[in-house]
Amino acid sequence: MAQTLDYLNESPSQTAGPYVHIGCTPNFSGIGGVYAEDPGSRMVNDKTLGERITIRGCVFDGVGAALKDALVEIWQADAAGLYNSPRENRGQADPEFSGWGRSPGDMESGEFVFETVKPGAVPWPDGRMQAPHITFWIVARGINLGLHTRLYFDDEKEANASDPILMRIEHRQRVETLIAKTESSATYRFDIHLQGSAETIFFDI
Amino acid sequence: MADDKPQGGYIQRDRNWHPPAYHPGYKTSVTRSPQKALLSFPSSLSEETGPVFSPSIIGARDNDLLHNFAADGESAIGPRILVYGQVREQSGRGLPDTLVEVWQANAGGRYRHQKETYLASLDPNFGGCGRCMTDARGYYEFRSVMPGPYPWPNGVNDWRPSHIHFSLFGQAFAQRLITQMYFEGDPLIWKCPIVNTIPSRQAVEDLIAPLDLNATIPMDTLAYRFDITLRGRRQTYFENRPQGL
């Protein structure tokens, strides 16, 4: 026998279930008066620096139906490419921008919406710059472990072409699943497909 | 950031330990499970950072589900319980100042939700959500009622064991996790299709909170202890990345 490595196992995941909104966005689900506001519902204020953008999309299942019980969260850098996190050691991020958003999706259509700012570029561990991107995390009934993916922008073609992650994707036709489409001025559409020919690339990262 | 050693990226998730995305015994997973291989990368700044919550968002009764939705002078109906434990990384290091969110059914197994159809009664004094921040050593606690078991449409006679949902942030988005806590001794645990998405008995047992009589409040509240482990960082003195990254 060798010595024992004493790492603990990560707690195993369980689905967020159909009532994730009770715990994560109680005001949205009709449980008022407990929290002043639902966490992550406001990402920007009047003082936040950067270009205001709107991101809209739906999460579709394998038969093409939009999920109405999903919870979508995003995490991103500020307009200067800095994260509002104690782990950020490259400078002080915009204190008026949390970088984190949470959307329960519309009760009828399932559409999620984020009012945020366009993120600046952030370096990859080897120093190359990544294209501007937003990290997405999706949970719902039927999803056994939260799904990580990323949103990139269709108006950042040059940066996307040299992004360390996008460049490494073997099936080039799948790169499009990570790229949000300009829908109108400063509004981007980013649909997420859990299965099928348009299945979004999900990350093990 | 007060880590005592230089640290690398996050330890890769063990996807044979977690439930697989596709598990036909849990029917909803069939059309909601990605079928293509995940794209594997070591973590980067985008995942090694994460949101921070100010303790100022936490109200005085946020971690008291007995009272945070109740009318003045009243409280939720059901067995009174206290749930506490430590949020830590795989190294065993406690994670301070991190947000813990919980939600659950009432003592009759009924959720306060417009899509909920179970015939058990709503409790007018029970909302079902709570939250708190961990202390300097990573400990959290909240007070509630024991949630009831309930039937759900999967097979014709499937029941959820009593459980509390947990949402954890840790200190990095790579650590983000949602899971469920079960109660020691509940015979429904081993019959539940959602529990059984977890591949090993050992992993399921990591989600079962033991009764902790030493932490109970005599003549008042039973206590359960539930520790939660989030992904840890790789500890490396030498890493092939440029200075400062």
Tens digits of residue pLDDT in B191-205: 999 999 999 999 999
Of B52, B176, B241, the CB nearest to A137: B176
pLDDT of residue B3: 46
> Is residue B212 pLDDT above 80, yes or no?
yes
Number of domains in chain A: 1
Mutation for B interface: A11, A35, A199, most B CBs within 10 A:
A11
Query: Is B5's pLDDT higher than 90?
Result: no
What is the CATH number for A171? Answer: 2.60.130.10
* Residue pLDDT, tens place only, B88-100: 999 999 999 999 9
Given a contact cutoff of 8 angstroms between Cβ atoms, the answer to whether B70 and A33 are in contact is: no
Does the residue A168 lie in any domain? yes
Is residue A19 a part of any domain in this protein? no
ipTM metric: 0.97
Q: Do A35 and B115 touch (CB under 8 A)?
A: no
pLDDT at site B4: 45
HSE, CB side, 13 Å, CA atoms: give it for residue B160. Answer: 28
Contact A186, A56 (CB under 8 A): no
Distance of alpha carbon B230 from alpha carbon B245, whole angstroms: 23
Tell me the domain boundaries of chain B: 15-231
Candidates A5, A7, A10, A106, partner chain B, best to mutate (most B CBs within 10 A) = A10
Establish if A8 belongs to a structural domain: no
Please tell me the CATH code under which domain B15-231 is placed: 2.60.130.10
Inform me whether the pLDDT recorded for B244 exceeds 90.
no
User: CB-CB: which of A6, A12, A29 is closest to B17?
Assistant: A12
The answer to whether B179 contacts A62, with C-beta atoms less than 8 Å apart, is no
Buried b (16+ CB within 10 A) or exposed e, B65-83: bbbbbbeeeebbbbebbbb
Cβ atoms < 10 Å from Cβ of A134: 25
Q: What is the pTM of this model?
A: 0.96
Q: Say how far apart CA B154 and CA A15 lie, in whole Å.
A: 14
| Beta-strand relationship, A59-60 and A192-193 | parallel
Note down the domain range covering A121.
41-193
Cα distance between residue A9 and residue A138, in whole Å:
23
Tokens found for residue A22:
């009770």
Residues A172, B205: Cα–Cα separation, whole Å: 42
Assigned domain for A17 exists: no
In a domain, residue A12? The reply is no
Percent of chain A with pLDDT over 90: 96
Q: Please indicate, yes or no, if residue A202 is contained in any of the structural domains.
A: no
Nearest to A75 by CA among A134, A148, A149, A25: A134
